[in-house]
């Protein structure tokens, strides 16, 4: 045999070997060994899977691995599943992340499934120690655990994101993307460790998911549409938040959010919409419905805050130009850890419109919690706190 023939023969053998397990690509066949950096192996397996014209599954078996910064990019020729049953650890030293925005980025693919009982462990403790974002709003963030950019028709099923250096998951410009049975876990004092951030995406679903972390449970950025959050437990953390919006000129409106059958345990906020005063753009926030929610010892169970201005970085005297409309709070029960369980602080420039409270039953120290409202006249159905005294309920 000449060299070319030997090469072809060996290549065929390799292809056969790699597909041997029912057509699955086990990363061990690409050199991905326990207790070693599997970035190269996963990248090679991805290249092969991505070229396949039939669906392929990549397997990361139950063991502990390291992984350096990695990006898996499409477009690919057929659906790909990555089943992760092991624990994958990020570098603990944030300086070795090369300034990467995400530890693992998945971009420009259609029909990818991430599944399994595996864990992405961001080993964030060192990054949290140097995080100064609470006092420096231009702080440079460390890598987020997982980023999905321009990904369509895809699912994350099972899996855990643990101790991310900053946000755990960042979903941007995705369509029809579902998290089911997902889990996020980080200590309540870990800074900026939002569970799932979703922006500029359409038809994202977060269901049957449990998020315990140090910052927002789920945060929703500009341009997002038709998001469903159902059967989700949040806590500890800062709750579900739309925004903040109105800080940058390039922002787009946010419309369509259903939060249903969710529980908040000891979170700073329950459900929140926050916009900056003096916003450079006139966008809208509309069609958001929060229902069947249990609050346990939550500081601000329901809050619309159109004067959101941390670090005093804005001119509070200029009201927000963001119009909030068609928002409902229905069947919301439980305990508030502040007297004002409902705060509807709307813009004096563009008052909130079509805000409804239907059966909102919150207690503070055993008595009914109160509502504080400005620039809004909520429609009250069933039991709900009346907007408090001494507050300007202008607008309509």
Ligand X SMILES: *[C@@H]1O[C@H](CO)[C@@H](O)[C@H](O)[C@H]1NC(C)=O
Contact, 232 vs 217, CB < 8 A?
yes
Q: Which stretch binds ligand X (CB under 6 A): 96-104, 124-132, 148-156, 375-383?
A: 148-156
- Of these, 231, 297, 359, 363, which contacts ligand X (CB under 6 A)? 231
68 binds ligand X (CB under 6 A): no
Residue 302's nearest CA partner among 283, 316, 281, 288 is 288
In whole angstroms, the minimum distance from the beta carbon of 176 to ligand X comes to: 4
Q: Which residues of 54-79 are buried (b: 16+ CB within 10 A; e: fewer)?
A: eebbbbbbebebbbebbbbbbebeeb
In whole angstroms, the minimum distance from the beta carbon of 102 to ligand X comes to: 17
Residue 143's nearest CA partner among 129, 123, 160 is 123
- Of these, 126, 176, 297, 353, which contacts ligand X (CB under 6 A)? 176
Per the annotation, the verdict on 289 as an active-site residue is: no
Q: Which stretch binds ligand X (CB under 6 A): 153-161, 187-195, 329-337, 360-368?
A: 153-161
Q: Which residues of 185-205 are buried (b: 16+ CB within 10 A; e: fewer)?
A: bbebebbbbbbbbbbbbbbbb
52 binds ligand X (CB under 6 A): no
In whole angstroms, the minimum distance from the beta carbon of 284 to ligand X comes to: 11
Report helix, strand or coil for 104: strand
In order of 60, 113, 115, the CA distances from 22 in angstroms are 15, 18, 17
353-364 and 367-368 as β-strands: parallel, antiparallel, unpaired?
antiparallel
Is the alpha carbon torsion for 381, 383, 384, 387 positive or negative?
A: positive
Q: Report the alpha-carbon angle 124-104-59, nearest 5.
A: 110
Number of residues that bind ligand X (CB under 6 A): 20
Task: Choose, from 102, 168, 197, 238, the residue flagged as catalytic.
Answer: 238
Contact, 211 vs 234, CB < 8 A?
yes
In order of 86, 139, 229, 333, the CA distances from 264 in angstroms are 29, 29, 13, 11
150 binds ligand X (CB under 6 A): yes
- Of these, 175, 188, 359, 363, which contacts ligand X (CB under 6 A)? 175
In whole angstroms, the minimum distance from the beta carbon of 298 to ligand X comes to: 15
Closer CB to ligand X, 88 or 156, in the complex: 156
Binding to ligand X (CB under 6 A) within 240-279 occurs at 256, 261, 263
Read off the tokens for 23. Answer: 């057509």
In whole angstroms, the minimum distance from the beta carbon of 143 to ligand X comes to: 23
Closer CB to ligand X, 32 or 74, in the complex: 74
- Of these, 71, 180, 252, 287, which contacts ligand X (CB under 6 A)? 287
Closer CB to ligand X, 128 or 150, in the complex: 150
Binding to ligand X (CB under 6 A) within 335-394 occurs at none
- Of these, 110, 252, 358, 361, which contacts ligand X (CB under 6 A)? 110
Distance, in Å, from the CA atom of 175 to the CA atom of 286, rounded to the nearest integer, reads 19
Query: Which residues contact ligand X by CB under 6 A?
Result: 74-75, 108-111, 150, 152-155, 175-176, 231, 233, 256, 261, 263, 287, 326
What are the catalytic residues? 238
């Amino acid at each position: 045999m000449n060299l070319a023939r030997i090469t072809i023969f060996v290549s065929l053998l390799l292809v056969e070997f790699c597909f041997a397990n029912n057509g699955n690509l086990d990363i061990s066949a690409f050199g991905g060994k326990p207790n070693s950096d599997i970035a190269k192996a996963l990248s090679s397996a991805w290249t092969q899977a991505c070229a396949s014209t039939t669906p392929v599954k990549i397997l990361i078996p139950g063991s502990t691995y390291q992984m350096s910064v990695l990006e898996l990019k499409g477009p690919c020729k057929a659906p790909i599943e990555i089943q992760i049953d092991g624990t994958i650890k990020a570098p603990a030293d944030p300086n070795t992340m090369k300034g990467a925005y995400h530890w693992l980025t998945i971009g420009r693919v259609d029909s990818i499934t991430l599944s399994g009982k595996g864990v992405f462990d961001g080993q964030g403790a060192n990054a949290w120690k140097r995080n100064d974002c609470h006092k420096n709003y231009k702080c440079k963030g460390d890598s987020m655990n997982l980023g999905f950019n321009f990904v369509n028709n895809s699912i994350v099923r099972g899996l855990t994101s643990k101790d991310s250096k900053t946000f755990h998951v960042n979903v941007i410009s995705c369509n029809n993307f579902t998290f089911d049975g997902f889990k996020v876990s980080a200590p309540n004092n870990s800074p900026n460790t939002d569970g799932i951030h979703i922006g500029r995406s359409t038809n994202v679903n977060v269901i049957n998911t449990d998020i315990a972390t140090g910052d927002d449970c789920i945060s929703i950025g500009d341009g997002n549409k038709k998001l469903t959050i159902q059967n989700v437990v949040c806590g500890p953390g800062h709750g579900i938040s739309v925004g903040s919006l109105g800080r940058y000129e390039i922002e787009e409106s946010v419309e369509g959010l259903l939060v249903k059958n969710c529980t908040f345990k000891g979170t700073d906020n329950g459900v929140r919409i926050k916009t900056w005063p003096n916003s450079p753009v006139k966008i809208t926030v509309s069609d958001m419905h929060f229902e069947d929610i249990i609050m346990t010892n939550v500081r601000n169970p329901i809050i619309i805050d159109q004067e959101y201005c941390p670090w005093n970085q804005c001119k509070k005297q200029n009201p927000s130009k963001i119009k909030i409309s068609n928002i409902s709070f229905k069947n919301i029960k439980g305990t508030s850890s502040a007297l004002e369980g409902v705060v509807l602080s709307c813009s004096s420039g563009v008052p909130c419109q079509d805000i409804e409270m239907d059966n909102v039953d919150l207690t503070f120290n055993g008595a009914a919690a109160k509502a504080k409202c400005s620039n809004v006249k909520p429609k009250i159905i069933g039991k709900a706190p009346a907007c408090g005294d001494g507050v300007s309920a202008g607008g309509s």
